[in-house]
Every structure is written in C-alpha cells, then in structure tokens.
Structure 1
C-alpha cells in the first residue's frame, strides 16, 4: 500500500464521545422491563442493577481523579469504595433502590455528565493516576467510553436487549487504549475481543486483558 493510501488514524477521544456513549447506553437501557434488573449481567458475576451501579461508579471515579488542582499521580482520590455484599462491586456510588430503574439510570447519567464536564474543562497537559498507568483527560475519556460500551453489552445480555454501538466510537477507543488490537477487523467485535468478551476469527481469545492509558505524547 502506498503511503498516500494509508487511512489516517481516528481523531482523539473527546468529552462529546463520552456524552454520546452514555446517552446511547441510557436510551437502550430504558427499554428494559422493570423487573429484569436482578438478572445476571452477561458473563459477569454481578446482577444488572449492580453492574449499572458499577458503570456509574467508573464514570464518577474517572471524573474525580481529574478534579483536584493537583491530581494524584501515585494513587486514587481517597473516596471510600465498598461492596454492599460479598462478591459485589466495590463502589463509592450506590443508587437508591426505592427510586427504581429510572432512578438508577439517572445516577448513571449524572456520573457520565461529571466525566464529560471534567474532560471538557481539564487542560490536556494534566496527568492523573490510574491503575494501568498515569493518563491524561483524553485517556480518561476513552476509559469512560470503553466502560460504557462494554458494560452496556453485559447489561444488554442480561436484560434481553439489542446493543451495537457506533463503529467510529469503538475505533477511536481501540486506537487510544488498545494498540495491540488487530486493525483489520470490525471495531465493535474487536473491542469485545480486546476486553475478553468475544471471539475474533484468527485471534486467540485473551485470558487476561488490560488497556494502555499512557498519553499519546
């Protein structure tokens, strides 16, 4: 292939991408029956309610990590993360169950909005700690998008819903966080493969997976 025929890399992941991912996820999850949230979420050990809480907690955690004037580089902002039952997700964010699924999704929307706001307003040169390495606002945006896309996949399996996110959104986060992933396969199946959730012809399914959040430069 001639150099001029090589397609340009996808654009950076932005706050708008986080907003889009969360908006699409909530729109799908609103279709779930009211009594379905106790079902197991896909291949996870958590039920759908716990998984949605965990997703909201992920988005919240990424937002607050960027929040201090001097973000920590060697650990997480020390919120108290705790599980409500043995084996359940350890969250700082828990939804009031008396508010029902509508309240749960409102919590998810609010956490997503916090990350959108922080990514949009944090200087790009800012760095903050993550367990997979120090990252930047774009990296935290990409992490939030991945969490949203793949956990909505888990939820959709448990709730009996259809979920196929936009290919361009998947492609951007693959480029940003999964440099080892195949580049000649469809982006959504590749993202599921990269996060241990699906098969990809010609590629062994990973038994362990991680992303790489280091800034692009």
Structure 2
C-alpha cells in the first residue's frame, strides 16, 4: 500500500513501494509471455534493454552513495559498455537465457540495493549526478523517476496497464521538478515532466531534466 499523504520528503519506504509495484507489473503472466525484443514505448531501445537500463540506473545510484568519500565531480570509475551503437551503456546486464523472470530478478535486486543505501545513508552523504549532486532523498526520488517513467515505456511495449501512485508521484515532483505545475494530477504531470505525456494548455518540454541537488 502507498505510504499515506502526498506532502513531505521522498523516503526509502516510497522507493521500496515503487520497486515492489514495478516488479509486480513485470512479473505477471502477460508480461513474462510478451515479446521483450519489441520497442519500449517511444524509446529506440527494446523492452529488454530498457529493463536492463533501469536496473543499471538503480544499481548506479546505490553505488554512488556507497563510498565514505564519494566522488563529487564525476561518477565512480566503473566499466560501462554498450552492446552495440545506440544501445544503453550499462554496468549491469542480465543473462538472456534466464528469460524475463531472471531479468526482473536483477531489477528487483538492484532496487533493493538502492533502498538499503537510502535507508542507511547519513544526512551529509552525497552522490554525484549530472543534474545535481544528490542527498539520499534525491537519490530515492531519482530512482522513482526511473522506475515510474520506464515502467510506462515497458507497459506500452509489453501491452500492459500501468499507473504510478499519485502520492509518491507528487513527492517526487516536489523534490526534483520544482517548476512542475501543482494544480494537475501528479502521475500525468510526472509523465509530462519526463517528456512522455501532455497536459491540457501546456506545451510538452522539448528537453527535460530534474534538479537533484538539495534545496536548503
């Protein structure tokens, strides 16, 4: 069940709920029987590649929070590789022979790592990101944007129905998208803010970004 209320910070519980919901979406019989080589919504990546990218994002955000003295001007020196030009650059890949079930297990494990890091991070801990060096709350919010937006991409590609919870979406918008409208439904607004949906009377952003640095 979604944590109650819409106001307040983005929490590890919010992130854990987001991971649970997306894993449940992708673990159903319709999802596992679908063709994961189909494009994920409007992305150029396949559903398989998009889910790997999502797992990799969650792992990377967790790893950035890990060191006692994390890099403040760049990412950890992990080895990133692309399987082909135009494909996502990942550290994390899933074995194709494990099928969609194995891929979703990898996604769930990476999500659990980020949840654990957010729960145990110190207030002063920071994690570099090109959109703003984040604290633990910002890292949780970034993970939720990745989860919810890519769940939308995957739902379109796999023929599933997906709606992110309004309360968590509202908290993510407040933390990462300070210029987003507050008089519209949170989930359609998050889709709009990430270039995936329209809002009446508002032009869809040609380019989008979030602002993950803490706002004092």
TM-score, normalised via structure 1 length: 0.94
May I ask how many residue pairs the two structures share in their alignment?
210
Aligned to 2:18: 21
Give the aligned partner of residue 117 of structure 2: 118
Instruction: Map 1:144-163 onto structure 2 (within 5 A).
Output: 144-163=143-162
CA distance in 2, matches of 1:200, 1:177: 18
Residue 9 of structure 2 is aligned to residue 12 of structure 1: yes
Which of structures 1 and 2 has the bigger CA Rg?
Answer: 1
State the superposition RMSD in angstroms.
Answer: 1.2
> How far off its partner does 1:81 sit?
1.1
Query: In structure 1, what is the Cα distance between the partners aligned to 2:6 and 2:175?
Result: 10
Where structure 1 has 5 or more consecutive residues not aligned to the other structure, the ranges are 1-7
What secondary structure is seen at the aligned counterpart in 2 of 1:108?
helix
Structure 1 segments of 4+ aligned residues over 3 angstroms from their partners: none
Whole-angstrom CA distance in 2 between matches of 1:15 and 1:81: 27
Distance verdict in 2 for CA 1:149–1:204, change over 3 Å: same
Counterparts of 2:168 and 2:160, CA distance in 1 = 20
SS in 2 for 1:163: coil
Cα distance in 2 for residues equivalent to 1:184 and 1:118: 33
Structure 1 residue 201 displacement after superposition: 0.4
Cα shift at 1:11: 1.1
Structure-2-length-normalised TM-score: 0.95
The CA distance in 2 between the partners of 1:166 and 1:9, in whole Å, is: 10
Unaligned runs of 5+ in 2: none
